[in-house]
Chains A and B, each alone.
Chain A
Amino acid sequence: MILVALLEVNDLSTHYFLKESRVRAVDNVSFTVERGKMLGLAGESGCGKTTVALSIIRMLPPAGKIITGEILLDNIDLLKKSKEEMRKTRWLDVSYVFQYAMNAFNPVMNVGEQITEVIIEKGGIKSRSIKKEAWKQVRELFEIVGLDPERVKNYPHEFSGGMKQRAIIAMAMACNPKLLIADEPVTALDVIVEKKILNLLKKLQKDFNLGVIFITHDLSVIAESCEEVGIMYAGKLVEVGSATTIFHNGAHPYTKMLIKAFPSILGEKTYIEPLEGIPPDLANPPTGCRFHPRCPLAIDECKKKVPFFKQYSSSRHLVACYRAGEKII
């Protein structure tokens, strides 16, 4: 038996077609997510992290089109599915925790109702007993995520931010998905609640052997919870590898600079170096390596040819850079 990865994204390119231009939001991105592992996708705002995630569940805004690539979930290409098949796949196989936790619930329906509706929908049949069963499941889910099961009939505005986030996670777990995509799930929360939510996600991931894609711009969150890390820059994946490799042995100049730009609370006091410059315009991306205008190590080759992913320190550590590993002076 050959072990296949839970999710395999191969050569994905997603572009936005605007009135006069074409924004290459995601270009030739490939990565895999294993069962029971958490992959952190990091990068500056606007680097295409969310577009990758939306491409996987095929919920892009009208202007967005997937140009090339395949997205294999359990070896089945999601991009080949019809709209209706894809609709059925959502939440059953892949669920999604959106960036805007606060508004993810419909304000005029109670929380339990919004979770049961998806259980009933995915269950296929509608009957009174199924409905009862669904409500029972919601109570259990509430217990799992650490909410009071008595509050299933509460309205969203009666929950605090952290509770809402737990309820959203409960909703995401409602149909036992294989893959969970969490898009900046903790950005809006304070540090203590953030920590609790991260622990909860971690626990669910282990207990349910869940594959998780964790999207954030906050490297410290990734360092804490992810096994694998992917660094994105301007629509390109520039480096992937295990968390320890990336944080201790990151080879791409952008990765290094990104890590340096984050303060460490426990470590010694060092000078934080902000990243100079702004990300490029994705309608007219720079030739060659997209990072070269901001890269201190750029050479002529970087401007001419796009660097490809190459194995670096191990078979699982890939870097797309001609000068990988070289010291930044």
Chain B
Amino acid sequence: MGFRRYIIRRAIDSIILLMITVIFNFILFRVMPGDPTTAILGRSGSPVYNPGEYRTRLIERFGLNKAILPFIDKDFQITPDLNTLIDNQFVVYIQKLLVGDLGISFNYFPQEVSYLIFGHRLLNTILLMGLSIVLSFLIAILLGTLASSKFKSKTDMTLIFTTLTSYSTPVFWIGMLIVFFCYGQLGILPYGGSPRIEEYSDLSSWGLDYLYHMIGPLVTLTISFVGAWFLIARDQMLGVFTEDYITTARAKGLKERRVMFVHARKNAMLPMISVLALAMTYLVSGATMTETVFNWNGLGLLTYESVYRQDYPVLQGLLLLVAAVAIISNFIADLIYGLLDPRIRY
């Protein structure tokens, strides 16, 4: 049937896109200006007794001339001839990537990038983002349905104004307000941080404290996501309500509940799937702003640290992960789309 061909076509598209991403990621971190070793030596604050020797060690450890960064040879000079090196580097880069080696972090030397990313940070981010995405998605759809069924009423207008306001508010500032009121003034929430399981005697006490710390960032993110998604949900429902088949369904004398939930919702959900697919990337990219404000030790905070410390290997790894998840979740969204909407399969 057409459906199989549709899947295959999408899969090929996704694989091509994935390859382009890998190449793009390789190039991006090689066109930047400046000399990374200087950045490390200048920033890390390590006691540098002998800069020359330290550089040699850096290059040995990181493989700066091969796997990570170009332009530098053994004498720490910027090489004018790029071509041979780039070829060589690209091969090494791909080889290492295939065995899951993303290099070694500058900042958390000598930890590996893959260890930094695929550890408790990823878990923290997935838990926080997953929960807030699900919560916001449900709230947005509920409010969107409510607003569209009372088109242009007071409820509708109030909801629009409120969500536009939250859309216009920087998410980190909402976080700052929560810290200010709930920690600084009232003292009902912790300042921040994400409790690690190793520091607790049993699972339940960790779980409770974890959730307690999660309230602040969770509320912040939910306010901001609902602001972004409400109008989309409302618009979709409105669009569907004006469709002819909805009029027909009503003329058929079906119960209004059936019209809303079977005929309208099914169609309005289709575009919302793309929204959800987009949100999947947040699962791994994390919310840099919110995590920074609340000191939530996830991938978003890692991104911030890595930019701050110019930890290129980690940034490269993060970017690759995010892009890969983006492509894969888009592919899955296409599949669901194809299953739900029979027209797409052709």
Contacts and interface: CB of A to CB of B under 8 A. Distances in A.
Given A107-B342, A108-B341, A157-B342, A88 B253 contact: yes
Interface string B111-145: 00000000000000000000000000000000000
A155 interface: yes
Given A90-B251, A98-B244, 13 more contacts: A57-B251, A86-B253, A91-B252, A95-B251, A96-B251, A98-B247, A100-B244, A103-B243, A105-B245, A107-B342, A117-B262, A118-B252, A121-B252
Contact of A108 (B248, B255, B258, B342): B342
30 contacts: A59-B247, A87-B253, A87-B256, A88-B253, A95-B251, A96-B251, A98-B247, A98-B248, A98-B251, A103-B243, A104-B244, A104-B245, A105-B245, A106-B266, A106-B267, A107-B341, A107-B343, A108-B266, A108-B270, A108-B340, A108-B341, A109-B262, A117-B252, A117-B254, A117-B262, A118-B254, A121-B252, A121-B253, A122-B253, A157-B346
A106 B245 contact: yes
Interface of B: 243-245, 247-256, 258, 262-263, 266-267, 270, 340-343, 346
A91 B346 CA distance: 33
Nearest to A96: B251
Among B245, B256, B258, B340, max chain A CB count under 10 A is at: B245
Given A98-B247, A157-B343, A107 B267 contact: yes
Interface in A138-156: 155
A90 B252 contact: yes
B259 to A, nearest CB: 10
Nearest to A155: B342
B139 to A, nearest CB: 25
Contacts of A10: none
Contacts of A118: 252-254
A107 B252 contact: no
A89 interface: yes
Interface string A65-100: 000000000000000000000111111100110101
Nearest to A110: B342
A91 B253 contact: yes
Interface in A111-161: 117-118, 121-122, 155, 157
A64 to B, nearest CB: 13
A323 B343 CA distance: 57
A151 to B, nearest CB: 14
Nearest to B340: A108
A83 B62 CA distance: 75
B245 A155 contact: no
A97 B247 CA distance: 11
Contacts of A96: 248, 251
A87 B247 contact: no
Contacts of B254: 117-118, 121
B249 A106 contact: yes
Contacts of A88: 253
Among B248, B253, B263, max chain A CB count under 10 A is at: B253
Contacts of A100: 244
B261 to A, nearest CB: 13
A98 B247 CA distance: 9
Interface residues of A, number: 28
Contacts of A92: 253
Contacts of A105: 245, 248
B253 A107 contact: no
Interface in A185-240: none
A61 to B, nearest CB: 10
B270 to A, nearest CB: 8
B73 to A, nearest CB: 61
B71 to A, nearest CB: 55
Nearest to B266: A108
A90 B245 CA distance: 15
A103 B248 CA distance: 9
Among A86, A104, A122, A155, max chain B CB count under 10 A is at: A104
Contacts of A110: 342
B211 to A, nearest CB: 38
A314 to B, nearest CB: 35
Among A106, A117, A118, max chain B CB count under 10 A is at: A106
B287 to A, nearest CB: 33
A98 B245 CA distance: 10
Contacts of B251: 57, 59, 90-91, 95-96, 98
Among B250, B256, B342, B346, max chain A CB count under 10 A is at: B342
A96 B266 CA distance: 24
The 4 A-B pairs at the shortest CB distance, nearest first, are namely: A90-B253, A103-B244, A155-B342, A106-B245
A18 to B, nearest CB: 13
Interface in A48-70: 57, 59
Contacts of B248: 96, 98, 104-105
A165 to B, nearest CB: 13
A91 B249 CA distance: 10
A91 B250 CA distance: 10
A248 to B, nearest CB: 36
Nearest to B249: A106
A3 B247 CA distance: 34
A117 B257 CA distance: 13
Contacts of A106: 245, 249, 263, 266-267
Among B247, B258, B340, max chain A CB count under 10 A is at: B247
Contacts of B343: 107, 155, 157
A328 to B, nearest CB: 40
Contacts of A108: 266-267, 270, 340-342
A107 B245 contact: yes
B254 to A, nearest CB: 6
Nearest to B263: A106
A108 B342 CA distance: 6
A118 B248 CA distance: 11
A100 B262 CA distance: 21
A211 to B, nearest CB: 17
